[in-house]
Structure 1
Amino acid sequence: MGSARTPTARRSQRLRVVFPDGVATARRLVAAGIPERTVYNRCRDGGPWRRLLPGVVLLSNGEPSLDQLVRAALLFGGPLTLLTGVEACRRHGLRRGPARSPVPRGRPTISILVPDSRQLRSTGFVEVSRTGRMPPPHVRDGVPLAPIVRACADAVRGLESAAEMTELMSDAVQRGLCTVAALAGELAEGSRRLTATPAEVLRDVADGVRSTAERDAKRLWARSGLPEPWWNAPVHAPDGRLLGKADCWLDDVAMAWEIESSEWHLSPADHDYTVDRAARFTSAGVVYLASKPKKILRSGPEVLEVLRAAYAHAASRPRPAVHAVDPRLR
């Protein structure tokens, strides 16, 4: 017969039941019967536990997982705390924008919202935002999140890269999780000073831009001297059949400019769809051309020359009876 378990083993099992995610406040541990001195002794160098944040303990001495860091941040914030920023956006389903920092090689910044009555400051891996505009929580997998509009706006406020802002906000809009108007309103409501960049990016998103590569293309197009295009416009055949969405559409001459972003974020299946869409456009008489994002950035004058020539060619032939919809009017 095996030996009976020691009191220490039984206590450890009980703690795993009470704190299944392996993170606890020192106060809860004391309430569970662990003397306060013992709690802090176990968090010393070489001890079996680790102190993650003031008053918050990891019940092991290994590297915490991302979920454990999130749990620690919420415990540190206290009642009514919401996860916001990039990590909340990821948990709402957004996949583009700033990358999560690897764990355990580098701790990500976890952003939380707390009521302004809480006297908390940012510390360690936790960025604390005190607010008098606490939104209702959206609970996902037991984690209270700020609504997607608030989480996205909070994330944008902490970004410096226009590319990351574009990817994050356009992903939220493209997935139908929020509107441009809602994002603009939330950014305007924020108490922190903002640079002009988020507003500029949001205007591009409102115009139909759905990626950093398309935003770069839009900025290049502004130097072309050609008519203003529509971005991500649905194009239909004369019989009403959808041919596809044109990244950049010149309605007066039925010309489509594709930004071949497979190197950015398209899957092989998406790339196959892009090839098929090009065939549908061409067969319907649309003048179709494509550019790689790197080409747009590195060889702008050459790309502009091709665009102007393609537009002249499109204007010289009878316009096919295709029908497009300006996405700004939908």
Structure 2
Amino acid sequence: MTHDTPLSPRPLHHLADGRRRLMTAAQLRAHGVSAAETGRQCRPGGPWQQLLPNVVLLHAGPPTSEERLHAVLLYAARERTPAAVSGGPAPASVPRQPGGQQPFAADPEAMITGLAALTLHGFSAAPPLPSLDALDVLVPRLRRLRSTGCARVVRTAALPTAVRVTGLPVAPVARALADAVAGLTDPGVVHRLLTEAVRGGHCEPAAVVRELNRARLLGRPHVVDAVDSLVAEGRALAEEHLYRMVREHALPEPVWNVDLRLPGGPGLGGVDAFWPEQAVALELDTRGAHRRQEDDAARAEQARRREHLERLGITVVRLAPRKLRASPEHQAAVVRTALMAAEDREPAAYVVVLPR
């Protein structure tokens, strides 16, 4: 038996029965279709078409966006046994996708990224899938693949954990953003995508900046400007969540956004909220979202400032914006505990409170 010999001579119409619309060459061979027969079916005017190398579309019309996504993932997936790939029977626990295409089988080494991933994540600023000439697919750096047709290969040394969107493996938002920004030159588009990532609650500014820094994109002027707006947007949202937490969980009203100073002495720095009677200061931990990595000296200076406040008897509470948004009840309990503990402490040093 040769490589192209059909495993069983079955009619071809059973393959395009509405349940499968894409198959790899290996899957077709497993269904008894030789390479020669596949080539005949894919001739101009034939009932099939080769959408990507080794990926066959089992109808003659234009592929849908869903079919293009599945085709790109099939092209990038490692060769596996026919029963393990997308053309095989769908698991009973996974519903079929619209249009009759089987849900894509898990492949930890290929996922949709870039603008297509952002569209799948629900970004209104990302273009619709039909308008994208190429779909980015993220694979390990050592994979021997090339960009071709509608598949644009993006390589990475550290593959993130994919998330499932409509049954497809998709890069997390922060990674998809970095891969999208890498190919964009329009400052307005970059700004809108980064702003929506934070305003829409898709991810934290710090996560986006880490990915942009990893991709060495922070040296591009239009990216730097967009990141500055991203950080400002993230901080404004964090402050809004902080105000809401204080109101909705009946915490005592603090003084907001103030500088602390010793009488006649040096400044102690600014805090986002301060309860003078309890000597409790609150800081939003947004330093990780800065567009440039902090050096050791800056981090050490921040630590010294906090230690100085605590030596003066001022309790410093630091809240991460992500936790403030995800679990305001828990964060309110942390603040309330600090306020209640003030009764058991020695009185704090007197400090001057000035508007920031």
TM-score category, normalised to shorter length: 0.5 to 0.7
Q: Percent identity?
A: 32
Paired residue for 2:185? 160
Distance 1:193 1:43 in 2: 46
For residue 117 of structure 1, report the CA deviation from its aligned partner.
2.0
Structure 2 residue identity aligned to 1:161? D
Q: Which runs of 4+ in 1 moved over 4 A?
A: 191-194, 230-236
Matched residue SS, 2:146: coil
Paired residue for 2:74? 75
- The question of whether the paired residues in 1 share the 8 Å contact of 2:53 and 2:75 is answered with yes
After superposition, give the CA deviation of every residue in 1:201-223 in whole Å (9 maximum; x if it has no partner): 1111211299xxxxxxxxxxxxx
After superposition, give the CA deviation of every residue in 1:131-179 in whole Å (9 maximum; x if it has no partner): 1111111012220011111011111111111111111111111111111
1:31-180 mapped onto 2 (5 Å cutoff) = 31-79=30-78, 80-97=109-126, 99-100=127-128, 102=130, 108-180=133-205
Structure with larger Rg = 2
For residue 234 of structure 1, report the CA deviation from its aligned partner.
5.5
Distance 1:62 1:38 in 2: 20
After superposition, give the CA deviation of every residue in 1:200-250 in whole Å (9 maximum; x if it has no partner): 21111211299xxxxxxxxxxxxxxxxxxx8998599xxx79xxxxxxxxx
TM-score (norm 1): 0.57
Distance 1:133 1:54 in 2: 26
Distance 1:133 1:28 in 2: 30
- The question of whether the paired residues in 2 share the 8 Å contact of 1:157 and 1:194 is answered with no
Q: Which runs of 5+ in 2 are unaligned?
A: 1-8, 79-108, 249-256, 258-320, 326-356
Matched residue SS, 1:16: coil
- The question of whether the paired residues in 2 share the 8 Å contact of 1:96 and 1:168 is answered with yes
After superposition, give the CA deviation of every residue in 1:117-138 in whole Å (9 maximum; x if it has no partner): 2111111121101211111110
Matched residue count: 213
Structure 2 residue identity aligned to 1:176? G
Alignment RMSD, CA only?
A: 3.3
Mapped pair 1:208 → 2:233: yes
Structure 2 residue identity aligned to 1:196? P
- The question of whether the paired residues in 2 share the 8 Å contact of 1:74 and 1:82 is answered with yes
1:246-325 mapped onto 2 (5 Å cutoff) = none
After superposition, give the CA deviation of every residue in 1:307-330 in whole Å (9 maximum; x if it has no partner): xxxxxxxxxxxxxxxxxxxx9x99
Q: Which runs of 5+ in 1 are unaligned?
A: 1-7, 211-229, 242-250, 252-326
Distance 1:119 1:132 in 2: 14
Distance 2:13 2:132 in 1: 27
